[in-house]
Amino acid sequence: MTQTIGGAAARLSRRKFMVASAAAGGGLALSFHLPFGADPVAAQGAAVGTEVNAWVVIKPDDSCVIRIARSEMGQGTLTGLAQLVAEELQCDWSKVTTESITAGQNLARQRVWGDMSTGGSRGIRGSQDYVRRGGAVARLMLMQAAANEWGVPVGELAVSDGVITHAASNRSTSYGKVAAAAAKLTAPDPKSIVLKDPKDWKIAGKPMKRLDTADKLNGSKVYAIDVRLPGMLNAAIKDCPVFGGKLKSYDESRITGLPGVRRVVKVKDSAVAVVADTWWRAKTALDALPIVWEEGENAKVSSATIAEHLKDGLTASATNGDRQNGDAPGTIAGAAKKVEAVYSTPFLAHACMEVMNATVRLSADRAEVWVASQNAEASLAALSEASGLPLAKCEVYRHDLGGGFGRRGGLQDYVHQAVAIAKEFPGTPIKLIWSREEDQAHDFYRPISQCRLAGGLDADGNLVGLQVRVSGQSINATLNPGGIVGGKDRRQLQGMWAEPGDAQFGYSVPNLLIEYAMRNTHVPVGPWRGVNTNQNGVYIECFMDELARAAGKDPLAFRRALMTKHPKHLAVLNAAAEKGDWGKPLPAGVHRGIAQFMGYGSYSAAVAEVSVSPQGKVKVHRMVLALDCGHVVNPGQVAAQVEGSVAYGLSATLYGECPVKDGRMTSLNFDSYELLRLAEMPKVETVIVPSHDFWGGVGEPTICVVAPAVLNAIYAATGKPVRSLPLKNVRLV
């Protein structure tokens, strides 16, 4: 979720545009030239509306179309961004619709819509300033047009719900009537505008209904997997099941003559695809195709060998990044009481409900892709690189995603594959769909890691020393080698950083040493909703409960004593504890656990109520989550994200693991890669901690407190700490 394309739009020169994309191996820069004097792309829907500026199109009936650059994958960003534009536009919210811009349009207009990348919980916080200014600029232009028409100073006008009034002359008009004149005016400098104080918001900050629900209720929404184009063929693919292996040979004669089959295509050096008239026929033929793989040395790798490799990193002398104050090892060695533990978390697949897919049509001078993408500009870069056509001859038709969670960001591996296949069929659209098994076998997994912790308590049970060693795989090593500076990879210590603002460690420990030892494997890894806060949250927060128990202290009180210098962390912890009835009686057999952590610029805490049956079966009854994300654009959607994060986090806690055997993944469908279902969903209560002095993320921050709160409740129930996930592999009684 960290790939970036280019820099700030404002710094881009007009005719030269650099794309540095993780899609291009994490460092390759593509440069290209826009056609000299390129005209702005004609606005979509211009025939029925007037583009006042890049963000706002007004129709004669006063309806407003708000342009959206970020991707919508369920997280509600589309509605939130529209609220922010509409707030400053001061239009009638009931007349707002949205439209998605394309990467090609953004490129042709010198990235007037800014960054299209949607990850790292940045969709709102990363664009709130310029989209609000976009709405404000449009409002000022519309009001100026009315002032010009009436020959009065604009300062005498008022506007509400898209109706402009001049009280002195008792005149009124509407946005729809003045839009054409407004569009001809010179836009004021966005930077000169004073934005509304969020306290005065009327549209933003309110629990508006989502704008994108209707077509999700009747089957009419067209996801990328649903695209149908004239003459389209379908492709099914198998990549070498052992990561890093190659395609050796296949026997096409065995499937010749099967219904609908057109051709077998070798895709790069590691995959083979069957192209047929329908996908089911392509998949059936692919399953019947004898394939020989050259699996290579990686076929010897298993979960056990990976675990040994990581174990080495727990004690290795060389590390890849650390932070420290005082002398943690010395303090712990001399402490009145010493606590030690080793934790581990597995590889996890994203398992988006919509499997990876892309539809590509190539001709000699045009490349197009229809795709679900968290970064349409990365899709554009991938399309250009794979097709060999310049970016200006490429276009991305981005569809809302059937799940993203970090899987559909910078890499765009499926776009590369679809282009490779489409090259064999010039002019014919090729829709590549992965089977669920392929999706599970070729993800960019949540990195596997282990963590060794040691803590020292003084005679009064105060934590005087803490040592943390994370050993595991690096996302940057797979996706963004440039992010590893001087051998240091701080990203893997997310949530344990010293500096405030993004993912700050919430505890002050007088003697602290936190280290990362990079131990990479042949399995590709990537960002997975919440990324490294998930694993690190488990390690720190579960160990905190082990320390509290050793100190004979209540887990909440033990934490509070370490958090006096972190008031925002503490406020959120307290809010969760209060709403979660910490310390109050519970039904027999039900126990509570608590956790707090920080990521994506927001503070999270959770209280879980859990019971463990005599057979060791875990039931999570209730979870209270507190979140301080600063400004809240849509409290209803914040609650929805928190609820969803509980489900995502609980799937990982209870079931999630991707074991490796003979160099390949073995959990290839939902029968073995189990996911949370409705019956297991606890009652979730969301507490939004009011705070209005920063912009934090929402989609990811709360996941990382779900697992530790549940594990700590289990610890309270059984008296035994759970130090490895998932729970399905742990004997609790």
Partner 1 sequence: MAKLNINAAIRDVEVEADTPLLWVIREQVGLTGTKYGCGVAQCGACSVHLNDEVARSCAIRVGDVKEIDRIVTIEGLSATSSHPVQKAWAALDVPQCGYCQSGQIMAAAALLRKTPQPTDADIDEVMTNICRCGTYQRVRAAVHLAARDISRT
Residue 677 near partner 1 by CB under 8 A? yes
Tell me the torsion sign for CA atoms 601, 602, 605, 608.
negative
User: Could you tell me which stretch among 11-19, 20-28, 608-616, 669-677 binds partner 1 (CB under 8 A)?
Assistant: 669-677
User: Could you tell me which stretch among 120-128, 247-255, 428-436, 491-499 binds partner 1 (CB under 8 A)?
Assistant: 428-436
Q: Is the peptide bond before 60 cis (omega within 30 degrees of 0)?
A: no
User: Could you tell me which stretch among 273-281, 376-384, 533-541, 581-589 binds partner 1 (CB under 8 A)?
Assistant: 273-281
User: Could you tell me which stretch among 239-247, 280-288, 475-483, 576-584 binds partner 1 (CB under 8 A)?
Assistant: 280-288
Residue 235 near partner 1 by CB under 8 A? no
What is the Cβ-side half-sphere exposure of residue 454, based on CA atoms within 13 angstroms? 18
User: What is the rounded CA–CA span in Å between residue 656 and residue 537?
Assistant: 16
Residue 266 near partner 1 by CB under 8 A? no
Nearest Cα residue to 524 out of 348, 351, 672, 356: 348
Residue 705 near partner 1 by CB under 8 A? no
Alpha carbon distances (Å) from 176 to 52, 63, 132, 218: 11, 7, 20, 31
Instruction: Write the DSSP assignment of 248-274 as a string of letters.
Output: EEE-GGGTTT-TTEEEEEEETTTEEEE
Residue length, the chain?
A: 733
User: Could you tell me which stretch among 5-13, 379-387, 506-514, 672-680 binds partner 1 (CB under 8 A)?
Assistant: 672-680
Nearest Cα residue to 399 out of 113, 103, 641, 110: 103
- Per CB under 8 A, the list member of 26, 465, 644, 656 interacting with partner 1 is 644
By rule CB under 8 A, what string of x and - marks binding of each residue 240-259 to partner 1? -------------------x
Cβ(445)–Cβ(386) below 8 Å:
no
User: CA torsion, points 419, 420, 426, 432, in degrees to nearest 10?
Assistant: -60
Residue 118 near partner 1 by CB under 8 A? no
User: What is the smallest separation between the CB atom of 181 and partner 1, expressed in angstroms?
Assistant: 37
- Per CB under 8 A, the list member of 59, 202, 206, 221 interacting with partner 1 is 221
User: What is the smallest separation between the CB atom of 642 and partner 1, expressed in angstroms?
Assistant: 9
Instruction: Tell me the number of residues near partner 1 by CB under 8 A.
Output: 61
Structure tokens at 2: 């960290």
Residue 436 near partner 1 by CB under 8 A? yes
Residue 635 near partner 1 by CB under 8 A? no
148 versus 672: smaller Cβ distance to partner 1: 672
User: What is the smallest separation between the CB atom of 220 and partner 1, expressed in angstroms?
Assistant: 7
User: What is the rounded CA–CA span in Å between residue 325 and residue 508?
Assistant: 10
255 versus 463: smaller Cβ distance to partner 1: 255
User: What is the smallest separation between the CB atom of 665 and partner 1, expressed in angstroms?
Assistant: 15
Q: If DSSP codes are grouped into helix, strand and coil, which group holds residue 502?
A: coil
User: What is the smallest separation between the CB atom of 643 and partner 1, expressed in angstroms?
Assistant: 5
Residue 100 near partner 1 by CB under 8 A? no
Residue 444 near partner 1 by CB under 8 A? no
**The three-state (H, E, C) secondary structure of 176-207, written as one string:** HHHHHHHHCCCCCCHHHCCCCCHHHCCCCCCC
Query: Which DSSP category does 716 fall into?
Result: H
Cβ(83)–Cβ(66) below 8 Å:
no
User: What is the smallest separation between the CB atom of 670 and partner 1, expressed in angstroms?
Assistant: 4
- Please give the residues from 185 up to 214 whose contact with partner 1 meets the rule CB under 8 A: 209-210, 212-214
The torsion angles phi and psi of 255, rounded to 5 degrees, stand at -115, 0
Radius of gyration of the chain (CA): 27
- Per CB under 8 A, the list member of 229, 291, 675, 732 interacting with partner 1 is 675
Please give the helix or strand (H or E) that residue 133 lies within, else none: helix 128-150
Nearest Cα residue to 124 out of 474, 622, 582, 638: 638
User: What is the smallest separation between the CB atom of 216 and partner 1, expressed in angstroms?
Assistant: 3
User: What is the smallest separation between the CB atom of 207 and partner 1, expressed in angstroms?
Assistant: 9
User: Could you tell me which stretch among 298-306, 327-335, 429-437, 487-495 binds partner 1 (CB under 8 A)?
Assistant: 429-437
Residue 670 near partner 1 by CB under 8 A? yes
User: What is the smallest separation between the CB atom of 689 and partner 1, expressed in angstroms?
Assistant: 20
Cβ(609)–Cβ(590) below 8 Å:
yes
Residue 280 near partner 1 by CB under 8 A? yes
Packed helices 635-654 and 703-718: angle between N→C axes, nearest 10 degrees: 50
Give the pairing type, strands 394-399 and 366-372: parallel
| 303 CB-contact burial (10 Å; exposed 0-12 / middle 13-18 / buried 19+) | middle
Residue 643 near partner 1 by CB under 8 A? yes
Report CA 93 to chain centroid distance, whole Å. 28
By rule CB under 8 A, what string of x and - marks binding of each residue 65-94 to partner 1? --------xxxx------------------
Residue 279 near partner 1 by CB under 8 A? yes
Question: Which residues in this chain contact partner 1 in the complex, by CB under 8 A?
Answer: 73-76, 209-210, 212-214, 216-223, 225-226, 228, 234, 259, 278-281, 284, 351-355, 400-405, 433, 435-436, 636-637, 640, 643-648, 669-671, 675-679, 681, 683-684
